[in-house]
A and B are shown apart, each in its own frame.
Chain A
Amino acid sequence: MSDLAARQAAFMESLLDEERALPGDWGARHAAGIEIYRNNYRSALVEALRSNFERTERLVGEDSFARAAAHHVITHPPSSWTLDLAGEGFAQTCGELFANDPEVADLAWLEWAMHLAFVARNAEPLSTESFLEAAGTFGEDDWVSLRLEFLPGLQVRPTRHDLKLLWSSLGEDAGEVEIACHTDKAATIVWREGERPVFISVDAAEGRALEAMMAGATYGEACDRLVEEAGPQAVELAGTMLRRWLSEGMVERIA
């Protein structure tokens, strides 16, 4: 490592670790200077988190959020060139810090997924009509081996809470925060409709089927899993979920 590279690594460590001793040839003026840089570093990252997790901040309150954000900045110092990714892993941080309030991690995940969907690659969803036209000639084997590519930015995760209710109760002009658990196991799907990130809650089995197909599983493999989970209702559920994915505009194309 060159002399400059070593000095920059030490400077960066001083920025990240406020208790780190400064170089021996630095005086009070340097100490005052590095304090400005440390403050800039911290405030830029905390501000980025506040901007990406507005509703999470409203849910836990400003002070708790500020502590969580400061903790995240220390435990997840950024490595990417873009400040846009400062919130990566913040939902996990919330899961650890608010372990008794699991709705916080659910909501933070949702806000982060919507943030990523907001700037995902533009793509036209495949319409139900176009899909049906292509599927008109499908034989049984074609259905079993069907693979789909989903819209860029689409994400799914199992969630325990009614995020639609929580989301709307945390709007800027909303009143009391409403927290409710789903009666059945559920998953939340996030994607972008035009320029607007949106989400819906679905049955957990559908969430797992979607996750599997996003990872490259065929429709046949996803249906096999549904049969294991949902039993006789699987056939109906398989049709319902595929129609939903198409009608909601989640599918980009047949792979």
Chain B
Amino acid sequence: MHSIDPFHGFGLGLRRTHYADFLEGEVPVDFVEVISENYMVEGGKPLRILEEVRAKHPVILHGVSMSVGSAHGLDHDYFARLRKLAERIEPLWVSDHLCWTRTSAHNSHDLLPLPLTREALDVVCDNIDHAQEALGRAMLFENPSSYLTFPEDEMSEWEFLSAMARRTGCYLLLDVNNVYVSAQNHGFSAQDYLDGLPMDRVRQIHLAGHTPATEDRPITIDTHDREVCDVVWALYASAIARTGPVATMIERDDGIPPLAELIAELDRARTLAAADGAIAA
């Protein structure tokens, strides 16, 4: 399987609200990440817009429906469409999540949690092998945020991810906010998580905002609807110091502000990375 070289840069997720900014102006980002499924269509305006954005910026295809954690098999139509899109867009890389979304009967359209067992690890590794083969390229997989753990868990999430990367040759997309959210929900140390990951396999970092737990709802939720909080910034500084220069981006899916606000927020990532010396300012 091909290797993926580190890409030094700072980017944003492309959202419909900002299409005009990207098409008509010069947006100061080093790459753009798009949700693959939004463009896995036959034709029309979405694909035309993506191609125009691609002409200006490197693009990352980030998926939410591959379902490599599913013990019910993979969807072959999905892979055919994703491969076609990847060949058309020539992305920096293709990524998805360590999760499952489908059974043979239904699709949740949500990133569902996996039991951290040897059986699940075997399923995930088989599916990632198939995915990388079907796409003809190595992929990145992201640590999800989760709202429950399973009584049958046999290892930590970082041990699971490490074994997954070692066995399949895939790379990691480290979502620092997800580490924080899951650490809050499950009571582990976010620093232990970072210590346990093979940082040389990380090629991208995600940053996002979340909704803190309340007295009535003792669960922190990964909502992507607000600014990155200070604790997550501190975790990012710790992570980027360990990964060295990798791609960093901010995800915002709800309460999307004007682009200038996201650019300003992204500048904070640039400053932190530069202060650490991971990436020259």
> Does B associate with A?
yes
B201 at the A interface (CB under 8 A) = no
Interface residues of B in 30-44 (CB under 8 A from A): 37, 40-44
State whether A4 and B117 are in contact (beta carbons under 8 Å apart), knowing that A44-B109, A83-B37, A195-B45 are contacts in the complex.
yes
Contact A3 B119 (CB under 8 A): yes
Q: A118 to B39, alpha carbons, bound, how many Å?
A: 12
A85 smallest CB distance to B (angstroms): 10
A153 smallest CB distance to B (angstroms): 8
The answer, among A4, A16, A36, for a CB contact under 8 Å with B115, is: A4
Contact A122 B106 (CB under 8 A): no
Closest to A7 in B: B115
Interface residues of B in 68-111 (CB under 8 A from A): 70-72, 75, 77-78, 100-103, 105-110
A98 at the B interface (CB under 8 A) = no
Interface residues of B (CB under 8 A from A): 37, 40-46, 48, 65, 67, 70-72, 75, 77-78, 100-103, 105-110, 112, 115, 117, 119-120, 123, 146-148, 151, 185, 217-219, 221
Q: A173 to B42, alpha carbons, bound, how many Å?
A: 32
Contact A12 B105 (CB under 8 A): yes
Q: A83 to B40, alpha carbons, bound, how many Å?
A: 11
B20 smallest CB distance to A (angstroms): 15
Instruction: Please name 15 further chain A to chain B contacts, defined as beta carbons within 8 Å, in addition to the given A2-B119, A40-B110, A84-B37, sorted by A numbering.
Output: A5-B72, A8-B70, A8-B71, A8-B100, A8-B112, A33-B147, A36-B221, A45-B109, A78-B107, A81-B37, A81-B101, A81-B102, A84-B41, A119-B44, A119-B46
A244 at the B interface (CB under 8 A) = no
Interface residues of A (CB under 8 A from B): 2-5, 7-9, 11-12, 15-16, 25-26, 29-30, 32-34, 36-37, 40-41, 44-45, 48, 77-84, 86, 118-123, 152, 192, 195
Q: B218 — which chain A residues lie within 8 A by C-beta?
A: 32
Closest to A83 in B: B109
Contact A11 B43 (CB under 8 A): no
Contact A81 B106 (CB under 8 A): no
A196 smallest CB distance to B (angstroms): 8
List, sorted by A's number, 27 A–B pairs whose CB atoms are closer than 8 Å: A2-B71, A2-B123, A4-B119, A5-B103, A8-B72, A9-B72, A16-B106, A32-B218, A32-B219, A33-B148, A36-B221, A37-B108, A44-B109, A48-B109, A78-B106, A80-B107, A81-B37, A81-B67, A82-B65, A83-B109, A118-B44, A119-B42, A119-B43, A119-B46, A152-B42, A152-B43, A195-B48
A228 smallest CB distance to B (angstroms): 36
Q: A45 — which chain B residues lie within 8 A by C-beta?
A: 109
Contact B108 A12 (CB under 8 A): yes
Q: B46 — which chain A residues lie within 8 A by C-beta?
A: 119
Interface of B is mostly: loop
Shortest 10 CB-CB contacts between residues of A and residues of B: A33-B148, A122-B43, A119-B41, A5-B71, A33-B147, A121-B42, A4-B71, A195-B45, A36-B147, A81-B65
Q: A33 — which chain B residues lie within 8 A by C-beta?
A: 146-148, 185, 219
Q: A32 — which chain B residues lie within 8 A by C-beta?
A: 147-148, 217-219
Closest to A197 in B: B44
Q: B41 — which chain A residues lie within 8 A by C-beta?
A: 84, 119
Contact A195 B44 (CB under 8 A): yes
Q: A121 to B41, alpha carbons, bound, how many Å?
A: 8
A73 smallest CB distance to B (angstroms): 11
Q: A7 — which chain B residues lie within 8 A by C-beta?
A: 115
A28 smallest CB distance to B (angstroms): 10
Q: A12 to B75, alpha carbons, bound, how many Å?
A: 17
The answer, among B77, B100, B112, B148, for a CB contact under 8 Å with A81, is: B77
Q: A152 to B45, alpha carbons, bound, how many Å?
A: 14
Contact A4 B107 (CB under 8 A): no
A26 smallest CB distance to B (angstroms): 8
State whether A122 and B44 are in contact (beta carbons under 8 Å apart), knowing that A3-B119, A37-B112 are contacts in the complex.
yes
Closest to A27 in B: B151
Q: A4 to B115, alpha carbons, bound, how many Å?
A: 8
Closest to B111 in A: A40
Q: A36 to B75, alpha carbons, bound, how many Å?
A: 26
The answer, among A15, A29, A118, A121, for a CB contact under 8 Å with B45, is: A118
Q: A192 — which chain B residues lie within 8 A by C-beta?
A: 44
Q: A54 to B81, alpha carbons, bound, how many Å?
A: 28
